[in-house]
């Protein structure tokens, strides 16, 4: 068997296409695989499917998987066909080894998509010696194609979360299906218009705003307004994760203020206050005891308010939770700490939404998990603070997208071609 035939099999090239020539240049570190179609070959018209003769051709080149340390390229003259049907006219055909318009083979793109699930894009760019902008184009094309087939018609429980790309700047809002635990939609901003954009995306995927029965959000006025305006049947739940985070932020401020008075005791206690007493290591327990003995009263008081607020979520039912929240509120509202009074006011203003957690526990804990997904999306898009890229990576990581039925399913493609070539 000639190397050309062998490469033809390995690449899955079938008639009328054939591998014509392999040229290998150790100096330029490349392997060029020339593909051509058999003389007199006809191709289906891309519009109507009728077999059509070749009208003319254009030379094209695609980057393929490396051949050991050598960059490999496929080259071919790609025909335009003259369809017998005059309505179709002259049309460019697509080749079986690449998406139309792409400068990469499907196998190369399959490798990129597989790597993109687990690696930052700049690392992939370096490993594959491809310009990162071209990689982003591949990833975006596959993610967009997969998303276009998504069906949102059965989404009922929505979770909304926001994150900043840089600390305090460039906000993104993410919309999750809490039942299927997947990312539905990401968009720039954190105002109420993000919800309008979500609703039009929902409609574009076969959904209706009326079908959303529950929305778990943080206590931002913008999200509250957006949900009330755009999702008429959604009961708002203020997520536990967000409420406790708000409480932790208030506690951190109290601690930071008091640390100026008692630096010797409160130094390096930030993480300690994020933990529950039962999770403290022995040395942390000692540290906490020292703080109690040395009258770091404000921090300790705020810590107790935090623990009591967390306790509300251990209630067995809504009535019990309401009782515990009432108790908590009374204590926090009468605290001498302004930040705790403020927290008490916030809780009062969002009372029903906090307690509706107990009508519907679907949301519990999920948004917390999402936060870590979003963090890994940020890491994956490291060096690319472009919001669009961040959203694309988030879809890839958290969208549970099915790449099957895209121009190509990378995993299937790899399996098929490898199976065919080495069997
Ligand atoms: Zn035609």
Q: How far is CA 40 from CA 15, 36, 43, in A?
A: 12, 12, 10
Strands 157-166 and 169-177: antiparallel
pLDDT tens digits, one per residue of 43-76: 999 999 999 999 999 999 999 998 888 899 999 9
Token couple for 405: 């039925």
Whole-number Å distance, alpha carbon 412 to ligand 1 midpoint, is 30
Q: Which residues contact 17 (CB under 8 A, 6 or more apart)?
A: 35, 36, 37, 38, 76, 95, 96
**Local confidence band at 37 (pLDDT 50, 70, 90 cut-offs):** very high
Average pLDDT value for residue range 137-147 = 93
Token couple for 348: 């009062």
Whole-number Å distance, alpha carbon 37 to ligand 1 midpoint, is 20
Contacts within 8 Å (CB) and 24+ apart, 405-413: 405/149, 406/142, 406/145, 406/146, 407/99, 407/106, 407/142, 407/145, 408/99, 408/106, 408/109, 408/110, 410/109, 410/110, 410/111, 410/113, 410/114, 410/142, 411/110, 411/114, 413/106, 413/107, 413/110
- pLDDT above 80 for 408: no
DSSP string, 128-149: HT--HHHHHHHHHHHHHHHHHT
Question: Residue 160 phi/psi, 5° resolution?
Answer: -120, 135
Token couple for 324: 């515990």
Whole-number Å distance, alpha carbon 404 to ligand 1 midpoint, is 27
- pLDDT above 90 for 382: no
CB 270 within 8 A of CB 252: yes
Residue with the larger pLDDT of the pair 115 and 6: 115
Whole-number Å distance, alpha carbon 90 to ligand 1 midpoint, is 8
**pTM here?**
0.81
Whole-number Å distance, alpha carbon 63 to ligand 1 midpoint, is 30
pLDDT value for 126: 92
Whole-number Å distance, alpha carbon 92 to ligand 1 midpoint, is 11
Rounded-to-integer distance, Cα 164 and Cα 136, Å: 21
Q: Quickly count: other Cβ atoms within 10 Å of residue 405's Cβ.
A: 10
pLDDT value for 176: 93
Protein residues near ligand 1, an ion, with CB under 5 A: 45, 47-48, 83, 85, 88
Whole-number Å distance, alpha carbon 389 to ligand 1 midpoint, is 38
pLDDT tens digits, one per residue of 268-319: 777 888 888 888 888 888 888 888 777 778 888 999 999 999 999 999 999 9
Q: Quickly count: other Cβ atoms within 10 Å of residue 264's Cβ.
A: 8
pLDDT value for 240: 86
Whole-number Å distance, alpha carbon 61 to ligand 1 midpoint, is 26
Whole-number Å distance, alpha carbon 84 to ligand 1 midpoint, is 7
Average pLDDT value for residue range 80-107 = 92
**Local confidence band at 352 (pLDDT 50, 70, 90 cut-offs):** very high
Token couple for 342: 């403020």
Lowest mean pLDDT among 202-206, 328-332, 395-399: 395-399
The helix or strand, by DSSP H or E, that contains position 59, with its residue range, turns out to be strand 51-67
Whole-number Å distance, alpha carbon 97 to ligand 1 midpoint, is 22
CB 143 within 8 A of CB 395: yes
Task: Kindly report the average pLDDT of the chain as a whole number.
Answer: 87
Helix/strand/coil percentages in the chain, nearest 5:
50, 20, 30
Whole-number Å distance, alpha carbon 42 to ligand 1 midpoint, is 12
């Amino acid at each position: 068997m000639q190397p050309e035939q062998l490469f033809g099999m390995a690449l899955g090239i079938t008639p009328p296409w054939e591998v014509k020539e392999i040229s290998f240049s150790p100096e330029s570190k490349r392997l060029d695989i020339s593909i051509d179609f058999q003389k007199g070959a006809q191709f289906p018209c891309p519009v109507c499917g009728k077999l059509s003769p070749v009208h003319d051709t254009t030379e094209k080149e695609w980057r393929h998987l490396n051949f050991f340390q050598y960059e490999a390229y496929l080259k071919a003259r790609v025909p335009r066909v003259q369809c017998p049907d005059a309505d179709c006219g002259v049309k460019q055909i697509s080749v079986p080894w690449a998406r139309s318009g792409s400068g990469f083979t499907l196998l190369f793109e399959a490798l990129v998509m597989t790597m993109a699930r687990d690696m930052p894009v700049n690392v992939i760019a370096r490993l594959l010696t491809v310009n990162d902008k071209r990689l982003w184009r591949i990833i975006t094309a596959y993610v967009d194609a997969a998303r276009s087939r998504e069906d949102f018609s059965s989404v009922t429980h929505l979770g909304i979360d926001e994150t900043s790309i840089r600390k305090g700047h460039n906000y993104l809002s993410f919309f999750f299906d809490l039942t299927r635990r997947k990312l539905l939609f990401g968009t720039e901003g954190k105002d109420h218009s993000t919800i309008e954009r979500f609703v039009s995306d929902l409609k574009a995927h076969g959904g209706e705003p009326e079908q959303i029965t529950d929305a778990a959000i943080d206590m931002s006025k913008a999200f509250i307004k957006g949900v009330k305006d755009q999702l008429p049947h959604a009961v708002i739940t203020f997520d536990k994760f967000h409420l406790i985070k708000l409480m932790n932020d208030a506690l951190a401020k109290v601690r930071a203020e008091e640390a100026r008075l008692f630096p010797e005791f409160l130094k390096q206690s930030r993480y300690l206050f994020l933990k529950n007493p039962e999770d403290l290591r022995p040395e942390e327990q000692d540290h906490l005891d020292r703080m109690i003995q040395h009258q770091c009263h404000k921090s300790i008081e705020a810590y107790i308010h935090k623990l009591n607020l967390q306790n509300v979520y251990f209630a067995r039912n809504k009535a019990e939770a309401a009782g515990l929240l009432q108790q908590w509120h009374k204590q926090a509202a009468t605290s001498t700490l302004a930040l705790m009074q403020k927290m008490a006011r916030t809780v009062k203003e969002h009372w029903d939404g906090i307690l509706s957690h107990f009508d519907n526990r679907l949301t519990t804990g999920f948004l917390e998990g999402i936060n870590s997904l979003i963090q890994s999306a940020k890491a994956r898009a490291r060096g690319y603070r472009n919001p669009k890229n961040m959203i694309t990576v988030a879809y890839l990581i958290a969208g549970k997208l099915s790449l099957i039925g895209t121009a190509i399913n990378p995993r299937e493609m790899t399996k098929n071609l490898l199976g065919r070539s080495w069997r």
